Amino acid sequence: MPQQPPGLMQMLEELIAIPSVSSVNPAFDQGNRAVVERLGEWLHGLGFAVEIQPVPGSADKANLIATLGRGEGGLVLAGHTDTVPYDDSGWTSDPFVLSERDGRLYGLGTCDMKSFLGLVVEAVRDLRAEDLKQPLVILATADEESGMTGAKALVEAERRLGRYAVIGEPTGLQPVHLHKGVMMEAIRVRGRSGHSSDPSFGNSALEGMHRILNDILAWRQQVQSRNVDRRFDVPVPTLNLGYIHGGDNPNRICAHCELHIDIRPLPGMNLDELRGLLAQRLPRVLGETGLAVEMESLFPGLPPMETPSGSPIVQVAEQLTGSESRAVAFGTEGPYLRDLGMDVVVLGPGDIAQAHQPDEYLAADRLQPTVDLLRRLIRRFCMDEAEVRHAP
């Protein structure tokens, strides 16, 4: 006989106690499998069909897909089970021990965002499959904080999940339907070293990079004049020159110079197109200099997300929270869920100011409102005849 899950506070304690750091640095990287297995046991105990989907490339990483009810449409409640690495010295209490002080629940992953998954289990505790006209899917992913390999594995497998999704990333319980994308590119110029006393002894990569910097700043201006979206606090795509290194000595011609840039495109802009434009421009800028230039993506990039404000998930989220849906500056797994045919709203109990910080916390007075909100969302998308909408 499957076991009923423990009470909410114990679930939160257990989720926080299981380490699930993910990091591009292998020294910090851990799996999330123990977290999804625990969630899987709880949801199995509530009658959900539980599937653990391994994530290619790591035996310790997996997604959880837990389904109650059946049908073509339905609602997906989604969250990632990994956390960022932590800096022990910044924490007042053990990051893996949920501790309540002054109405706040401290712990790594309280705000961003393992608590959300515990709140989801609490919200579905009394649900029965027979009550559902459309399926309810609980999705707990791996690796959101590093490579998004969990979300990518879902897209790769073309795993159909549902028609609407709520991702419980920290938004202070206000719906979000828009975010920018992120890409980070390295640009390397290769020249030839030589004694500085005679320029003909070498070919300066640094001088080539100077041309490239000028060109990139001119390109930024062009791109920003063509792409404006007033729904964002920073209404244009940004391009930051974040890192540069070149040369080794004042008296040697610089043979190698490397620049790292960060671009945050608006919805409607395509990462591959931007990369293509840069890849065309840069060799042209160097012209006949004889210098070579190459580009490399520092991470695969995250696309921007936009869910139309007329979508039922946006409308219902606005109604239930009494807040107008807005844009945020951070990225989510939303674009991947969109690729799988879902309309996505980001809506969760934490505040982004507490994410990725020592002494991360979730305010205790967010718990019950979140459970209530989740129950209302489930009612609207899985139970009410009038609101149940099928996939086109």
- By annotation, the residues acting in catalysis are 82, 144
Site stretch for Zn ion (CB under 5 A), options 23-31, 33-41, 113-121, 365-373: 113-121
Do residues 91 and 101 touch, judged by C-beta distance below 8 A?
no
Q: Which of 146, 160, 142, 145 is nearest to 56 (CA)?
A: 142
Site stretch for Zn ion (CB under 5 A), options 107-115, 251-259, 262-270, 300-308: 107-115
Q: Report d(CA 293, CA 205) in Å as an integer.
A: 9
Q: Which of 241, 232, 391 is nearest to 326 (CA)?
A: 232
Smallest gap from residue 111 Cβ to Zn ion (A): 8
Smallest gap from residue 380 Cβ to Zn ion (A): 25
For Zn ion, which is the closer residue by CB, 134 or 171? 171
Smallest gap from residue 179 Cβ to Zn ion (A): 12
Q: Is 82 a residue that touches Zn ion (CB under 5 A)?
A: no
For Zn ion, which is the closer residue by CB, 112 or 207? 112
Smallest gap from residue 82 Cβ to Zn ion (A): 8
Residues contacting Zn ion: total by CB under 5 A: 3
- Token readout for 61 is 């990483």
H helical segments located in the chain:
8-17, 33-45, 114-123, 149-156, 205-226, 271-286, 312-321, 334-339, 367-378
Smallest gap from residue 114 Cβ to Zn ion (A): 10
CA atoms within 13 A on the CB side of 352: 11
For Zn ion, which is the closer residue by CB, 169 or 306? 169
For Zn ion, which is the closer residue by CB, 143 or 169? 169
For Zn ion, which is the closer residue by CB, 5 or 348? 348
Site stretch for Zn ion (CB under 5 A), options 88-96, 112-120, 180-188, 238-246: 112-120
For Zn ion, which is the closer residue by CB, 163 or 179? 179
Smallest gap from residue 302 Cβ to Zn ion (A): 12
Q: Report d(CA 70, CA 388) in Å as an integer.
A: 13
Site stretch for Zn ion (CB under 5 A), options 88-96, 104-112, 194-202, 242-250: 104-112
Q: Which of 185, 297, 299, 304 is nearest to 240 (CA)?
A: 185
- Token readout for 363 is 């305010």
Sheet holding 183-190, edge to edge: 238-246, 256-264, 183-190, 292-297
If 0-12 CB within 10 Å is exposed, 13-18 middle and 19+ buried, where does residue 351 land? Answer: middle
Do residues 375 and 367 touch, judged by C-beta distance below 8 A?
no
Smallest gap from residue 208 Cβ to Zn ion (A): 39
Site stretch for Zn ion (CB under 5 A), options 65-73, 111-119, 186-194, 201-209: 111-119
For Zn ion, which is the closer residue by CB, 224 or 357? 357
Output the residue with the shortest Cβ distance to Zn ion: 112
Q: Which of 126, 124, 125 is nearest to 136 (CA)?
A: 124
Place of tokens 């718990």: 367
Do residues 136 and 67 touch, judged by C-beta distance below 8 A?
yes
Residues 119-178 that bind Zn ion (CB under 5 A): 169
Q: Which of 112, 143, 185, 360 binds Zn ion (CB under 5 A)?
A: 112
Using CB under 5 A as the criterion, which residues of the chain lie in contact with Zn ion when the complex forms?
A: 112-113, 169
